[in-house]
Amino acid sequence: MGRFDGKVAFVTGGARGQGRSHAVNVAREGADVVLMDLCDQIESVEYSMSTRADLEETAALVEKHGQRALPIQADVRDHAAVADAVRRGVSEFGHIDLVVANAGIMPTTGAGSHELQAWTDTLDVMLTGVFYTVRETTQAMLDNRNGGAVVITGSTSSFRGVAYDVELLNPGQVGYGAAKHGVIAIMKNFARALGQYGIRVNMVAPAGVRTPMVVNDAFSNLRASSPPGWMANAMNVDLAEPQDISDAVLWLLSAESRYVTGTAIPVDAGQLLC
């Protein structure tokens, strides 16, 4: 028996990284999974983003656990595309019970980070895209009248600024922090309004995680030129693994946290203490 037997999860940014980890873990616990990802490059982002092949690989990993996967290449910045993905998920599986609003970008380095488009891109993906995702999936939950659970991917940047000099006051970096701060408001408002319907909404706030968003030459160069202690944490460890974040997400989605809503849980090895 899995914790999510008979349930259906909707995961954005599911092609790789944390999204893939969350999708595979909910499948391991018995859920079928709708996987949504852009699978394309955004010009302001310096590192290589996910591909359709990545998305298909995640779907195959879900199916290895005996669960069904519905991979959808779509853009969280496009409300109609998000609404259509939700409709397709409900049509295929009958309902949506679990949501991980995880899609994210980090255009904080390179020439593109200094263009105003980087501000628009970060807000569109990680603030507006989260709103569209939570809005449409929770409406499906309300229609189903059986409750549900939502987890938004925030960041330690939801709680603090990380710019240590003028170079990091670029539109991409400041936009990243603004978006990650903003999703707290989305989480709290939806949690307060939907609790009476058995729908819980929480946020997980990781520090650095070993995914392609962070493990790339551009971010490595940024870390190398940063002041001592820029990414320090109380446990004196390096990057977290995706599974470390998935363990927290699984708990927030499960009945084990049935009275937890409107809460942001850092998984940061104590970075916010430093």
Contacts of residue 253, defined as CB under 8 A and 6 or more positions apart, other chains included, come to: 4, 9, 26, 98, 100, 149, 151
Q: How many CA atoms lie within 13 A of 247 on its CB side?
A: 7
Task: Calculate ∠ Cα 240-245-249, nearest 5°.
Answer: 175
Q: Which of 47, 164, 176, 197 is catalytic?
A: 176
Instruction: Please confirm, yes or no, whether 164 is among the known catalytic residues.
Output: no
CA atoms of 12 and 23, how far apart (whole Å) = 9
CA atoms of 21 and 242, how far apart (whole Å) = 6
**In contact, 100 and 36? CB cutoff 8 Å:** no
Could you tell me which residues are beta bridge partners of residue 51?
none
> How remote is the C-alpha of 250 from its chain's centroid?
13
Backbone angles phi, psi at 233, to 5 degrees: -145, 160
* Pair of tokens at residue 162: 């990380």
Give catalytic residue positions.
176
